[in-house]
């Protein structure tokens, strides 16, 4: 890129923004009521689109929540989960019976190293 073109690129958007600001103030100076009306129409359109978006979002969320609750019920039925009692037990945790784990240690070939060439 030549240097003249690099310097001209930011100037063009700055001129457009400056003309826009000048036009806005000129219109606001000559007919402020029309500018206010235009802003009110823009705000009304934005709010209508926002409300439509929220209604559609809520419908989609309700479908997701109902399908999630249905899946939770099926999972509980499948795994036989019971709800926890609301009453707290008064026993301390140290007195609870601890279940032993049913794990066994399998002795393997610890001393033999793998030959990485055949891996």
Q: What is the DSSP string of 71-111?
A: HHHHHHHHHT--PPPSSPP-S-GGGSPPPPP---PPP---S
Determine the Cα–Cα distance for residues 119 and 102; give it in Å rounded to an integer.
33
Q: DSSP 3-state helix, strand, coil percentages of the chain (rounded to 5)?
A: 70, 0, 30
**How wide is the angle at C-alpha 50 spanned by C-alphas 49 and 56, nearest 5°?**
90
Tokens representing 29? Answer: 């100076």
Residue for token pair 């609750």: 69
pLDDT digits (tens, 9 = 90+) for 58-99: 877 777 778 888 888 888 888 765 555 556 556 555 555 566
The pLDDT score that the predictor gives to residue 81 is: 55
pTM, full prediction = 0.40
The pLDDT score that the predictor gives to residue 115 is: 63
Pick the more confident residue, 45 or 77: 45
Q: What is the DSSP letter of 2?
A: -
Tell me the mean pLDDT in the region 17-21.
Answer: 94
Q: Phi first, then psi: what are they for 2, rounded to 5°?
A: -85, 155
Q: Which of 9-13, 38-42, 82-86 has the lowest mean pLDDT?
A: 82-86
């Amino acid at each position: 890129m030549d240097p003249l073109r690099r310097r001209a690129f930011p100037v063009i958007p700055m001129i457009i923004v400056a003309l826009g600001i000048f036009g806005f103030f000129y219109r606001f100076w000559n007919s402020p009521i029309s500018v206010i009306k235009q802003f009110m129409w823009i705000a009304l359109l934005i709010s209508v689109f926002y409300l439509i978006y929220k209604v559609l979002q809520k419908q989609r969320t309700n479908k997701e929540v109902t399908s999630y609750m249905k899946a939770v019920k099926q999972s509980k039925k499948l795994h036989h989960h019971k709800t926890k009692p609301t009453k707290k037990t008064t026993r301390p945790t140290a007195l609870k019976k601890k279940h032993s784990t049913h794990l066994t240690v399998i002795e393997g070939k610890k001393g033999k190293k793998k030959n990485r060439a055949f891996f």
